[in-house]
Structure 1
Amino acid sequence: FLGYKFPFGLQVYDITHLVSSFFYKCYASLTKAQKLEWNNRGISTVHAIFITFMSVYLVFFSDLYSDKLDGPVTFRSSNLSNITLAVSVGYFITDIAMIFWVYPSLGGMEYVLHHFLSLVSIVYSVNSGEGQLYTYMVLISEGTTPGINLRWYLDTAGLKRSKAYVVNGSFMVVAWLVARIILFIYLFYHIYFHYDDV
């Protein structure tokens, strides 16, 4: 199953290259390293949008982790939750491979460590069915990634003084507050009130 997901990331990389070549004049003038990172951020953005949407749905809108259900919340999983996490596994494998392929152009050992720990955590959660709710809560923080990537794109394209850059920065403040601060307060609150399950 994971072998199926690995080529998807490379297809997104190629599509990002194609679309960027056609629609963004600045893309042609980028260095080889900048084009590599530009395309890699395309994969990152697609994954972030997908996993954020699915995580928000599974955590807040599906009944999978509802307190109305019997049994510990920490042992709940479904086919949809497992498949969604498997897509993230495929992304992290693809990104680690890309980092090693052009090391250190896409980041140093801190990126490798971050991706490796994420990969191990998600694989454990899929294989055991444990802790998926909290894994998804952490994955919602990927909602800030498209804004981070857009900021890099605008800077690289020489648009650091544009209105889009300012709007993106304002969006990033709100997104960061919600996805990386308020959400983690809620996560610890949830753990506290489900301490026996945890």
Structure 2
Amino acid sequence: MTVSTHTVEAFKSYQIQAQVLVRNYLLADTSIPYTSVLGGIFACKVVYDLSQLVSTFYFRSYNTLSKIQKIEWNNRAMSTLHSILIATVSTYFVFWSDLFSDNKHAGLITFRSSPLSIVSLGASVGYFLVDLGMLFWMYPSLGGSEYVIHHSLSAISVAYSMLTGEGQLYTFMVLISELTTPEINMRWYLDVAGLKRSNAYLVNGVLIFFAWLVARILLFLYMFSHVYMHYNQVSQMHAFGRFLVFVVPAVLAAMNLVWFGKILKGLKKTLTKWQ
């Protein structure tokens, strides 16, 4: 009596998943994810307070802002630092590290993780939790429903990937899109500083356009093609993990396209004024 190929593949799939669960929950240091989340929350608090302190003494425009604007100023300083750090780490894991390399024979790429990847995702979860809390606290002053949806989906996806070790490669691909955050924040800073007619404002608009095109449009297309090419590995993830890989990036991509249209419209308007 022979065993079918399908049965053998199914057995191997369950065996791999069992090994991942044992490594992540029985053998791993379970304090790492939660410690990194708390570290991310603490880092956000430190950056927020430092921004408030430094801005008070070194930026004249800061002292002329309203209370809500000052909160947003400090919140954007916090998000800028997070975006730079997580985008840098994500770029490393996606393009330079061999952790998710196809040439590395260490099991399916959808089940690979490392202590550094877990810590990085945990710190990012901490940031998203803090920012979500501030969004709800100041709603809608710091952002409307689209920001709540974006941050909620991001927090859930990153937290799941951190806790289970599933789909971390695709989580990092999406997190590279945080590269656009510093440019968006700088535009707000220039606006409240009364520099909308400056050369810096024009240059910033151009940078936002190209950064958004690369990090939130082209990179997402690359991610979708990568999922397609590795569908046999993605299909072996748990049901909720597959849902996050297929649905969440699609929703974020749709939102990115809508925002990209607004960015393009705003850039055309700015360029027209400068002609």
- TM-score interval (norm. to shorter): over 0.9
User: How many Å apart are 1:16 and its aligned residue?
Assistant: 1.0
Q: Does 1:86 align with 2:122?
A: yes
For structure 2, list consecutive stretches of 5 or more residues without a partner in the other structure.
1-34, 235-275
After TM superposition, list the pairs within 5 Å mapping 1:46-65 onto structure 2: 46-65=81-100
User: How many Å apart are 1:97 and its aligned residue?
Assistant: 1.5
**SS in structure 1 opposite 2:103?**
coil
Return the TM-score normalized by structure 2. Answer: 0.70
Equivalence for 2:51 = 16
Describe the superposition over 1:123-181 as per-residue Cα deviations: whole angstroms up to 9, x where unpaired. Answer: 11011100000000000000000000000110111101111111111111111111011
Find the structure with the greater CA-based Rg: 2
Paired with 2:211 and 2:149, the residues of 1 have a C-alpha distance of: 24
Among candidates 4, 7, 18, match of residue 42 of structure 2: 7
Paired with 1:179 and 1:5, the residues of 2 have a C-alpha distance of: 23
Q: Which moved more, 1:75-84 or 1:188-197?
A: 188-197
Equivalence for 1:105 = 141
Paired with 2:205 and 2:139, the residues of 1 have a C-alpha distance of: 29
User: How many Å apart are 1:118 and its aligned residue?
Assistant: 1.1
Q: Does 1:158 align with 2:190?
A: no
Q: Which moved more, 1:108-117 or 1:126-135?
A: 108-117
Among candidates 77, 83, 106, match of residue 42 of structure 1: 77
CA RMSD of aligned residues (A): 1.2
For structure 1, list consecutive stretches of 5 or more residues without a partner in the other structure.
none
8 Å contact from structure 2 (residues 39, 123) kept in 1: no
Among candidates 84, 90, 103, match of residue 68 of structure 1: 103
After TM superposition, list the pairs within 5 Å mapping 1:128-147 onto structure 2: 128-147=164-183
Among candidates 167, 171, 178, match of residue 207 of structure 2: 171
Describe the superposition over 1:103-128 as per-residue Cα deviations: whole angstroms up to 9, x where unpaired. Answer: 33212333223222211111110111
Q: Which moved more, 1:104-113 or 1:62-71?
A: 104-113
The letter for the 2-side match of 1:125 is S
8 Å contact from structure 2 (residues 52, 74) kept in 1: yes
Paired with 1:96 and 1:53, the residues of 2 have a C-alpha distance of: 22
Paired with 2:221 and 2:177, the residues of 1 have a C-alpha distance of: 12
Paired with 2:147 and 2:203, the residues of 1 have a C-alpha distance of: 27
> How many residues matched?
198
Q: Does 1:32 align with 2:87?
A: no
Paired with 2:211 and 2:190, the residues of 1 have a C-alpha distance of: 18
Paired with 1:40 and 1:185, the residues of 2 have a C-alpha distance of: 30
**SS in structure 1 opposite 2:124?**
helix
The letter for the 2-side match of 1:45 is T
8 Å contact from structure 2 (residues 38, 123) kept in 1: no
Equivalence for 2:20 = none
Among candidates 218, 221, 232, match of residue 196 of structure 1: 232
